[in-house]
Chain A
Amino acid sequence: MPGLEDLYREIILDHYRNPRNRGELEAPPATRVEGFNPLCGDEIVVYLDVDDDGTIADIRIGGQGCSISQSSASMMSAAVKGKTVREVQALTRAFKGMMSIHESSLDGEADADSEAAEEAAADEVRLGDLEALRGVVKFPVRIKCATLSWNTLAQGLAEAAEAG
């Protein structure tokens, strides 16, 4: 049986108490995008500054929510700052894979081979501190808390690409 210590790792609580990259960026020029978890009312605001060469030059996080959604957003902001959009997409896939969410299998018949290949590729991405959130998968209700900021980031990157 999973215990609370599987969920609330010390590094998660640290990011919750001392969130990184908390604040706002002027939008525009930055991209501002909101994400909601309709089940619990958690809200995340992601401010993104994407360079012309496709690098995330700056990121800020606003909003309110539980320790899992807020710490995940904080860790995400630290992990993606300075990375290219392509690198962030790989990181997002790896993170969601850790959360047992496989985008390919959502389209119907799960393709075991491509899923395995994707997992292998995702395995090569270094998750670093984000590994601390691995325990969330044992608490299925909380997976949405952990992925809220990542889905919001993906939406922000799409909007930034459109605007660019």
Chain B
Amino acid sequence: MSTIEERTDPIDVAAVKADFPLLAREIKGRPIVYLDSAATSQKPRSVIEAMTGYYETINANVHRGVYEIAEASTNALEDARAATARFIGASSPNEIVFTKNATEGLNLVARSWGGANLRSGDAVLLTQLEHHANIVPWFQIAAEKGVEIRWIPLTADGKLDLTDLDRLLDGVKMVGLSAMSNVTGTLTPVRRITDAAHAAGALVSLDACQFVPHLPTDVAKLGADFASFSGHKMCGPTGIGVLWGREALLDAMPPFLGGGGMILDVSLDGWIPADLPAKFEAGTPPIAEAVGLHAAIDYLSGIGMDAVRRHEVTLTGYALRTLRERFGDQITIHGPSEPAERGGVMSLAMEGIHPHDLAQVLDEHAVCIRPGHHCAKPLMKVLGVGATARASFYVYNDETDVDALAEALDAAAGFFSF
């Protein structure tokens, strides 16, 4: 993959930046340097306008309405579903369940699939770099069912240590796997793990929250059985997430939430669930958000996900070089050292400066990074830290943002020099 970095950057970042109204604003009299896209991305004008346009022209509840705007609203929701399916290579829109966020998708799999299929004595295999969203739901169901939780350990540079994978998979029914760490940026060998899991009779629920916004995604090639991601990390709005699952698996699973929209029939004696995907979408769905997500997918597709990935590999490489050259032993950058093995997320540690204090000084320089445990406390323990300072890049960041980060880190080092 080293050839990727050598190609010229095909993205006109200045033009991309101009598509994002928020990036034009100033903080404390300086242009904003937004380096927190792993938490949430900024939104292009086209997404904001699509949602406003929805509310101004076709806002109506979906399904069952026979009047014109209700039909238009229903079509907008289903168009968004179809666009999402195409974007990730799903074989049918029926495999796309709209959720509140990735967390809900991961919970849905644990509760619905786990509730129906896990038995006492079964095991669930997780990795030590999982986000709490792919840990806690499994702890919850494991406690109810008497299921054992196992962990894939990490190597010193923050990659998965697969030495004992076959032994760890023995007796496992489900693997919870992050495709890309939200802390170290580590890209995991998804295909290798899904192949091994399937050979051992286990399924794989992928946390693709950091992956789908940043890399070309083809769920068939990844080989997972479920994948969850959030709209707001991929230029879309908050309040909508996606669970993709193999149709046969989703079909066989019991509904998660009960209510309107998810039934075929309800009588005084009971109820019959609706078909996919309605079965998993109780209540009024996030319609305007689906319209926004559709616009976000169109926006990213317009740039091209291959180009997005190439841009981030180049920028991450520049950031790693810049920070190492400038700060040497003073800085620790967690995770893989090769840009090709990671996404544009980097957790930093500056010697003698706590991440909270670092982020506070960076804020004075209008540099937005995030300190904390990033909802990955088991990983923090493995890394031997309580928190990290995380900078994360997206398609609208460029070398000037990295330079601003380096300048601000320099100022912080000066401020806290003992």
Question: Looking across the interface, which residue of chain A has its beta carbon closest to that of B358?
Answer: A66
Task: Tell me whether A4 and B387 are in contact in the complex, defined as CB-CB below 8 angstroms, given that A41-B373, A66-B354 are known contacts.
Answer: no
In the complex, chain A residues whose CB is within 8 Å of the CB of B377: 41
A44 to chain B, nearest CB (A): 11
In the complex, chain B residues whose CB is within 8 Å of the CB of A64: 386
- Give which listed residue, B28, B380, B386, contacts A65 with CB less than 8 A: B386
In the complex, chain B residues whose CB is within 8 Å of the CB of A1: 28
Q: Does A42 contact B (CB under 8 A)?
A: yes
In the complex, chain A residues whose CB is within 8 Å of the CB of B387: 40-42
- Give which listed residue, B361, B386, B416, B418, contacts A42 with CB less than 8 A: B386
Task: Tell me whether A40 and B360 are in contact in the complex, defined as CB-CB below 8 angstroms, given that A17-B418, A64-B386, A67-B354 are known contacts.
Answer: no
Q: Does B26 contact A (CB under 8 A)?
A: no
- Give which listed residue, A4, A17, A40, A43, contacts B356 with CB less than 8 A: A40
Q: Does A142 contact B (CB under 8 A)?
A: yes
In the complex, chain A residues whose CB is within 8 Å of the CB of B418: 17
Counting chain B CB atoms within 10 Å of each CB, which of A64, A66, A67 scores highest? A66
Query: Is B357 within 8 A of A66, CB to CB?
Result: yes
Q: Does B55 contact A (CB under 8 A)?
A: no
Number of B interface residues at 8 Å Cβ cutoff, please give it. Answer: 18
User: Main SS of chain A's interface residues?
Assistant: mixed
> What size tier do the contact residues of chain A reach?
20 to 34
A139 to chain B, nearest CB (A): 7
- Give which listed residue, A41, A70, A139, A142, contacts B380 with CB less than 8 A: A41
Q: Does A68 contact B (CB under 8 A)?
A: yes
Which A41-87 residues have a C-beta within 8 angstroms of B?
Answer: 41-43, 64-68, 70
Task: Tell me whether A4 and B386 are in contact in the complex, defined as CB-CB below 8 angstroms, given that A40-B356, A41-B373, A66-B354 are known contacts.
Answer: no
In the complex, chain B residues whose CB is within 8 Å of the CB of A68: 356-357
- Give which listed residue, B355, B364, B380, contacts A66 with CB less than 8 A: B355
Counting chain B CB atoms within 10 Å of each CB, which of A39, A40, A43, A139 scores highest? A40
Query: Is B371 within 8 A of A4, CB to CB?
Result: no
Query: Is A41 within 8 A of B364, CB to CB?
Result: no
Question: Looking across the interface, which residue of chain A has its beta carbon closest to that of B29?
Answer: A1
- Give which listed residue, B372, B380, B386, B415, contacts A8 with CB less than 8 A: B415
Query: Is A4 within 8 A of B415, CB to CB?
Result: yes
Question: Looking across the interface, which residue of chain A has its beta carbon closest to that of B380?
Answer: A41
In the complex, chain A residues whose CB is within 8 Å of the CB of B28: 1
Query: Is A41 within 8 A of B372, CB to CB?
Result: yes
Query: Is A40 within 8 A of B361, CB to CB?
Result: no
Bound CA span A149–B298, Å: 49
What are the interface flags for A1-25 relative to B under an 8 Å C-beta threshold, 1 for contact and 0 otherwise? Answer: 1011001100001000100000000
Among all A-B residue pairs, the 3 with the closest Cβ atoms: A66-B356, A41-B373, A66-B354
Q: Other than A3-B364, A66-B357, A68-B357, give 10 A-B pairs with Cβ distance below 8 A.
A: A4-B361, A4-B364, A8-B357, A39-B372, A40-B371, A41-B372, A64-B386, A66-B355, A66-B371, A142-B360
A-B contact pairs, 12 of them (CB 8 A): A1-B28, A4-B415, A39-B372, A40-B371, A40-B387, A41-B373, A41-B377, A64-B386, A66-B354, A66-B356, A66-B371, A142-B360
